[in-house]
Amino acid sequence: MKQIPREFKGVGLYRPLPVALRFTVWPFAIAYAVALYYYINSTGMAAIHTAPPHQHLNELNETISGATTNNSIDGEEVVVEEEGLLEAIVNNGVDTFDFLVLLSLPGIALVQVLCWLGGHWSSTFFVLFNCIKVSDPKSASLVKVTPQSHKGPTALCPLERKIRPETETTYWFVYQKRKYFCNVNADKSVTYTKLDFPKNKEFGFYKAADGVADLAAAHSKWGQNKFDVPHPTFLELLQEQALAPFFVFQMFCVLLWSLDDYWYYSLMTLVLLVMFESTVVKTRQINMKVLRDMNDMTRPKKPVNVYRDNKWQLVRSETLVPGEIVSLPRLKTASPAPCDVLLLHGSCVVDEAMLTGESTPQLKESIDSRGDEEKLSIGSDRDKLHIVFAGTTILQSTPDTEARLKAPDHGVIGYVLRTGFYTSQGKLLRTILYTSERATADSAESICFILLLLCAAVSAATYVFIQGLKDETRGRYKLVVRCALIVASAVPPELPTELSLAVNASLQALRQIGVFCTEPFRIPFAGKLDTCCFDKTGTLTENNLVLNGVTGLSGQTVIPADSDDLPGETLFAIAGCHALVIHDGSVSGDPMETAALNAINWSFTIGNTASSRKTRFGYKLHILRRFPFVAELKRMSTVVSLDHCRETTLFVTAKGAPETMREFFATVPADYDDNFNHFSRQGMRVIALGYKYLPSSVSFAEIQSFTRSDTETDLIFGGFLVFHSVLKADSLPTIDALRRSSHNCIMITGDNMLTGCHVAKSLHITTKPALLFYNEGAQGTWKSVDEKNIVESQGGKEIDEIVKTHDLCITGEGLEFMMQRWKAGEVKKAITSTRVWARVSPQNKELIVAKLKSYGQTTLMCGDGTNDVGALKQAHVGVALLGATARTPGQAAAAAPQKKAPPAKKEPLFKRKNAPRPVPQPKTAQRKPQPTIANSLEAMLQQEEDSNIIKLGDASVASPFTSKSNSTRNIAGIVKHGRCALVTMQQIYTILALNCLIQAYSLSVINLEGVRMADSQATIAGILLAMCFLFVSQSKPAEELSKQRPPHGVFSAPIMLSIAGQFAIHLVSLVFVFESAKQTSPVPTPHVETFRPTLVNSAIFLISVAMQVTTFAVNYKGTPFMQSIFDNKRLLFTLGATGGWTMVLAAQLIPEMNEYFELVPFPPLFALMLMGVLAANFVGTLLWDRLIRRLFGQTA
């Protein structure tokens, strides 16, 4: 039984076969030999090969010469042009069976090439054709890795080995920049393990660490601490693009058109393809350059101090290995961490915005207080407080003056946990480089769409082939080419190009409004949205809360924060229980905590010291120990010392959600619930305060050994902080616009249910009275906000009735309660009917979005902080608001300056030993000049680079979409552009489908009658088609969101019925013109393989161009999802000019123009009939499409 890492679905060992034994070689060698044998011994060729050489040459010359003949039809001479050598042989010297035998040779070659390309496109095909599977690593040289869904493509990796005489051979392979070992067990079974790191040891192990003993072995195992972002050359990437499936197919189509003598058309198509692929290649090069620049900007610019050989040494960060002891100083310029480091001594403040999107600086503390037997869990929120992740910026570094090791650069001391691509920053880069979780252009729908067209084309090609074989005068060579063209026409080679143009247009437009997207093909999902989820604080409401005061100490009376009536203990709890830090001389941290500190007229200064600005009191408070806020716990606490009148008092301060803090109070006031519920119903944010005194004999060492359970018990109730949250100006208009456009809007917040319901009502998220779910009784209880209406739950059976008159509000714990006790169907009804989710943890947020997705809803999640990352990634459209990130903590503090406390004349008794030192203001880094553009192609692409590339700071790994604005005003813009992109893609599908069906008919039935198009005609038609597609893809979205929603896919009833009806009208028009032209033409069309101007050819060309114009004009959706066709001036002008040009040619107003485009003169009555059919065709398809839209409730 093979054991593999959980990120893999399967792993297999393979050995390449010798070239001669590969299935891409020997079966085809046999097939070639058999085909040649039958061909040489066939009846037709046997006579040629058995004749004497001179007779053979004479007959061959006569055959070739006979290819040029003169034929007379009704007295008019028709010249059939000379054929090629191969065609002459096929048409004159070989019967049908011999022709099929000869045809098998290029057929075998084509299959062989496809098999070879299949091995290039797919690792599965490569091992199938070229390798043999083995079970022993000793005989293997390749490893086939199949990852889990959305984790990247299947890949073949070389199996490396290191032979050691004294030990067993070590086998490993590298997949997506990560190393995996292949281990052979005693029972000959094979297991695969990841490269292990010292990241789950006991804390005692880390505290006793003093470096790595064998550096050479460590470097051999873990490699260098760097990111090897690939930098392929332009030609290498172009070669890769040239072997892509669609490009190969496009080139095959170009070859077929050239074999059919359409040289100009083929050359034009080839040039356009090469230009587009060159653009793609250059864009990929720019993307990789951005990744390398990101790597350079997030790597230390200077050597780092590392403890090696019992002394500190300056080394390059690339040489660091796990297990080493390093120093992380605060440099004059912002310094990124070189790897994932566990803090052993000291503390620091870091900016993790690049990794998490969290704009608030984070405090990292050492593991000094953790028990030696506790184990590190790198994924837990609690242990993340001790880890500085690679790429995060170190804003402040406070060394421990009493640490066992002291670095010469006065940095904090840390233990290297992970390096290179195994770090958090490495994971971000790997996600960008390899992860295939890119919402592609509905690949399943595209495949089904193409297969449907392919069925029609194969039927047409089969008909042509059978009829062509019956006609002895028809050339077999051109018959094969024509059948191949018919099948190729069913797969629009320009499909990926057109879809990319449509999405890139929306991508550039979004960037102009400050929205950046790292996964472009998620944009159409914004047009399919069913449910829009919003975080509350910082997303719908302002981060900057206003402290109304303190309540709960004397009923529901609110005591102003700066009142002298406020008890001292409550005052000290406000001043001491927070996670604020000093960065560049300014206070940074949670805006709520900053607002509370300002409201009580206290200041926070260097040394984790808070002091009253009312100098007559002389209070000075020192934070000795912090237990930071954890979302799952919903609380935090600190240990502080208070200096006043030369006396020092120690006590614990704590705060958190009222319902969470209740169990930690020694005595709970009788009106506790009534008080905080009263203010929560008014939309206030309520925080419970607690405190307790500590004996003065407690030492600093004992304080550092405290755990949460030591501090957060037997607390004394200190009152409720009541904050007023201000709605953002754009929140209500955004929610109203989304609701009017048929979207279901819900709020997911960590706040109290009553607070959430009040804000939801203010924003029209709820429009009916709210019912709140409580985990009471066997199945739960529903209560109104005022608790006057109480409904006992029946396991969810009551939901269908109560949602008719009420909106639902459920907590995260309530959801878990339902999932445990209710049936799955009732849980689904509850989740899809809930408008407000309150008191949810980050895991609950992610679960809610995942459940909505599993119920078939297309979801959007909008949030602004670390707690939203899971939900943002889970949603189809995750939008991170990072407007606050662009503002540095220093700038934020400058916007709200605080008075600094006077310097203390005397050190407090319990001064923290690792108090921060003053940090000099960093110098502003000068922006590096942009590199000179090397060539004209790069200059041409510069605008595209500026529009499409996500630069460092523009977006985070938190979500596919990032808004630089800190409000929700761009959400409506994302939905508008999503709808526009979705509809544009649907109309591209529709237009391509109609064109392909018409072309398949034209190439089959009509071409059997000898109708062809001139090379110049095909070229001008191709140019007009490309221009129309370009202008369709550049359409702008409508100004307002409409109530009507676009169809989710191309296989919706209105689109399919519209395509069927339009094709029928086009087909009738085409057949009518064709038959009329045949009857009118004085000269029947001969069975020739080259173009000759005739009445039939001329008429078919004009109606074909007119049908293309009609297809674009009729199927352009316009309002209510995008600008109308009259506002799309370029498309309107192109279609109008082309339509007018077609009518001018049909009316023969400019005979010289008709002659230039190789059109014959039309009889007057035929010209009138042709113009009438062109007009009727346009009117008929337009009326049919509008009728279908009206029947399905769509406005035109």
Q: pLDDT band at 956, cuts 50/70/90?
A: low
Q: The sheet that has 531-534: what strands, in order across it?
A: 515-517, 961-963, 877-881, 859-863, 531-534, 744-748, 834-838, 807-811, 770-774, 781-784, 790-792
pLDDT in tens, 184-209: 887 888 889 888 899 889 999 999 99
**Residues 947-970: what's their mean pLDDT?**
64
Where helices occur in 10-136 by DSSP H, the ranges are 26-40, 43-50, 53-65, 85-93, 96-121, 123-130
pLDDT at 530: 93
> Does the pLDDT of residue 644 top 80, yes or no?
no
Of the listed ranges 156-165, 469-478, 650-659, 1153-1162, the least confidently predicted one is 469-478
State which H helix or E strand residue 262 sits in.
Answer: none
pLDDT in tens, 358-375: 566 788 888 887 888 888
- The single residue listed with the structure tokens 């990101």 is 294
pLDDT at 1181: 94
Share of the chain above pLDDT 90, in %: 21
Q: pLDDT band at 330, cuts 50/70/90?
A: confident
- Residue with the bigger pLDDT between 239 and 415: it is 415
pLDDT at 942: 42
DSSP 66: T
- The single residue listed with the structure tokens 């649907």 is 986
pLDDT at 1023: 80
**Residues 871-886: what's their mean pLDDT?**
75
**Residues 977-983: what's their mean pLDDT?**
90
pLDDT in tens, 248-258: 877 887 887 77
> Does the pLDDT of residue 277 top 70, yes or no?
yes
pLDDT at 70: 43
pTM of the model: 0.70
pLDDT at 82: 40
Quick check: 625 and 703 in contact, CB under 8 A? yes
pLDDT at 95: 55
- Tokens representing residue 510 in the block: 């979004």
Where helices occur in 905-1001 by DSSP H, the ranges are 936-948, 969-1001
- Tokens representing residue 395 in the block: 């804003």
Decide the pairing of beta strands 142-147 and 155-158. Answer: antiparallel
**What does the alpha-carbon distance between residue 218 and residue 198 come to, in Å, rounded to a whole number?**
12
pLDDT at 835: 94
Q: How many CA atoms lie within 13 A of 340 on its CB side?
A: 22
Say whether the peptide bond before residue 52 is cis (omega within 30 degrees of 0).
Answer: no
DSSP 855: T
Q: What is the DSSP string of 378-431?
A: TTSHHHHTTEE-TT-EEEEEE--TT-SS--TT-PEEEEEEE-GGGSHHHHHHHH
DSSP 132: E
Quick check: 307 and 324 in contact, CB under 8 A? yes
Q: pLDDT band at 132, cuts 50/70/90?
A: very high
Of the listed ranges 55-64, 341-350, 609-618, the least confidently predicted one is 55-64
Q: What is the DSSP string of 889-916?
A: HHHHHHHS--PPPPPPSS--TT--TTPP
List the one residue out of 17, 10, 338, 339 whose CA is nearest residue 175.
10
Max CA-CA distance within the chain? 127
> Does the pLDDT of residue 76 top 50, yes or no?
no
* Catalytically active residues, by annotation: 535
pLDDT in tens, 279-329: 777 766 776 676 666 666 556 667 899 999 889 999 998 899 999 999 998
Backbone angles phi, psi at 1102, to 5 degrees: -65, -45
- Residue with the bigger pLDDT between 271 and 941: it is 271
> Does the pLDDT of residue 894 top 60, yes or no?
no
> Does the pLDDT of residue 595 top 90, yes or no?
no
- Residue with the bigger pLDDT between 959 and 534: it is 534
pLDDT at 437: 39
**What does the alpha-carbon distance between residue 540 and residue 534 come to, in Å, rounded to a whole number?**
7
Contacts of 208 (CB under 8 A, 6+ apart): none
pLDDT at 676: 87
Q: Quick one: CA dihedral 1029, 1034, 1039, 1041, positive or negative?
A: positive
Q: How many CA atoms lie within 13 A of 655 on its CB side?
A: 28
> Does the pLDDT of residue 945 top 50, yes or no?
no
> Does the pLDDT of residue 1165 top 80, yes or no?
yes
Task: Kindly report the average pLDDT of the chain as a whole number.
Answer: 79
Q: What is the DSSP string of 419-472?
A: -GGGSHHHHHHHHHHT------S-HHHHHHHHHHHHHHHHHHHHHHHHHHHH-T
pLDDT in tens, 992-1020: 888 888 877 777 766 666 676 777 777 88
pLDDT at 989: 84
Query: Which residue type is seen at 1152?
Result: E
437-443 CB contacts, 8 Å cutoff, 24+ apart: 437/150, 437/151, 437/519, 438/519, 438/521, 438/522, 439/519, 439/521, 439/522, 439/524, 439/525, 439/876, 440/521, 441/496, 441/499, 441/503, 441/521, 441/524, 441/985, 442/524, 442/1049
List the one residue out of 892, 898, 860, 897 whose CA is nearest residue 876.
860
pLDDT in tens, 85-128: 444 444 444 455 666 666 777 788 888 888 888 888 888 889 98
pLDDT in tens, 489-515: 666 666 677 777 777 788 888 888 888
Contacts of 490 (CB under 8 A, 6+ apart): 450, 453, 454, 456, 457, 458, 996, 1000
**What does the alpha-carbon distance between residue 873 and residue 857 come to, in Å, rounded to a whole number?**
15
Share of the chain above pLDDT 70, in %: 81
